[in-house]
Amino acid sequence: MSNPSEEELIHMFKGIPFTTRSSPELLKSLETFHAREDDLLLVSYPKSGTHWLAGVITKLYSTQVTLTSPIEFGDLSKLEELNKLSSKRIIPTHLDYNMLPPNFKKKKCKMIYIARNPKDTAVSMYHYYRDNPNLPTVDTWTAFFDLFLKGDVVCGSWFDHFLSWEEHENDKNILFLFYEEMKKDLPKTVKEIVLFLGLNISDSDIQDICKKSSFSQMKSDTEKENSDPSHTVCTLTSNRKLIFRKGTVGDWKNHFTPKQNQRFEEIFNEKMKLSKMAKNLTF
């Protein structure tokens, strides 16, 4: 049996490539989605540490919350499913700000945006494309590098995604986090999250949560679990084992040629020239 064709796996919605696991009907109906004031959104461009963040957040709440699959994942029945949940909903999403259901904005729901430097994000996504049967085939890193820079990958351009959210950097209901900061000092980031969410968690519990959220611990927990779609917070797979690959900063150095790096930097500097938050991205 041959692999599904690109057309069978990808469709465009408002100019952004989505996998067919996000139905056009669902994407359209998100416009009228009913948010609740206590919904918490976990926002990211794919491969930025979404599962890591979700792991931390669910440990902070321990009970009384439901981590859903991404809001844009599934078909129309998704909305009904979300409406039925009675507990506090923690809802992941890869949508850019402009596509977010307006009701979340109106109700000023809390949102946490996690960003990762785009070079490592590109490398992580490349491996994900290669290992994931729900995504089109890519033959080489060189081919993927071009697609990534053009924004011709699922969820579109990293730059557009980041910039659409950065415009809201001063919104009190949005907390911006960086993957590299989390790697450097996880307890510090967790304390920021605790403060933002208004939780009361002791320092020793925070230390314990950080230990349980290390890459090696999360990877080995996943290896013990069965692949359960309800544990996946990415629209691109239901298989958690594909998520925990390397978990480091700077893997791009093992992939980028000097020429690719130069090209990437030129595009980065041009696209991010008005960005204030770009300085927080460490490579």
Region at 26 (left for phi over 0; alpha for psi -120 to 50; beta for the rest): alpha
Which residues inside 180-199 make contact with ligand A3P, applying CB under 6 A? none
| 234 makes contact with ligand A3P (CB under 6 A) | yes
Nearer to ligand A3P, 34 or 253 (CB): 253
Beta strands in the chain (DSSP E): 10-13, 16-19, 40-44, 65-67, 88-93, 110-115, 174-178
| 141 makes contact with ligand A3P (CB under 6 A) | no
| 78 makes contact with ligand A3P (CB under 6 A) | no
| 218 makes contact with ligand A3P (CB under 6 A) | yes
Which residues inside 241-270 make contact with ligand A3P, applying CB under 6 A? 243-247, 251
Rounded to the nearest whole angstrom, what is the least distance from the CB of residue 123 to ligand A3P in the complex?
Answer: 6
Rounded to the nearest whole angstrom, what is the least distance from the CB of residue 133 to ligand A3P in the complex?
Answer: 16
| 174 makes contact with ligand A3P (CB under 6 A) | no
| 210 makes contact with ligand A3P (CB under 6 A) | no
| 59 makes contact with ligand A3P (CB under 6 A) | no
The answer to whether the beta carbons of residues 46 and 236 sit under 8 Å apart is yes
Distance CA 238, CA 229 (A): 5
Nearer to ligand A3P, 73 or 79 (CB): 73
Rounded to the nearest whole angstrom, what is the least distance from the CB of residue 142 to ligand A3P in the complex?
Answer: 19
| 231 makes contact with ligand A3P (CB under 6 A) | no
Rounded to the nearest whole angstrom, what is the least distance from the CB of residue 121 to ligand A3P in the complex?
Answer: 8
User: Over the range 3-31, which residues count as b (16 or more CB within 10 Å of their CB) and which as e?
Assistant: eeeeeebbeebeebbbbebbbeebbeebe
Q: What are phi and psi of 239, to 5 degrees?
A: -105, 100
Q: Which helix (H) or strand (E) holds 224?
A: helix 215-224
Say whether 94 is catalytic: yes
Contacting range for ligand A3P; rule: CB under 6 A; set: 48-56, 133-141, 203-211, 223-231: 48-56
Under DSSP, is residue 115 helix (H, G, I), strand (E, B) or coil? strand
Among residues 51, 94, 161, 231, which one is catalytic?
94
Q: Give 79's contacts (C-beta < 8 A, 6+ positions apart).
A: 26, 29, 33
Distance CA 42, CA 135 (A): 23
CA 154 to chain CA centroid, nearest Å: 12
| 48 makes contact with ligand A3P (CB under 6 A) | yes
Number of residues that bind ligand A3P (CB under 6 A): 22
Question: Where on the chain is the footprint of ligand A3P (CB under 6 A)?
Answer: 44, 46-52, 120, 124, 127, 213-215, 218, 234, 243-247, 251
Give the residue numbers annotated as catalytic, written as ranges. 94
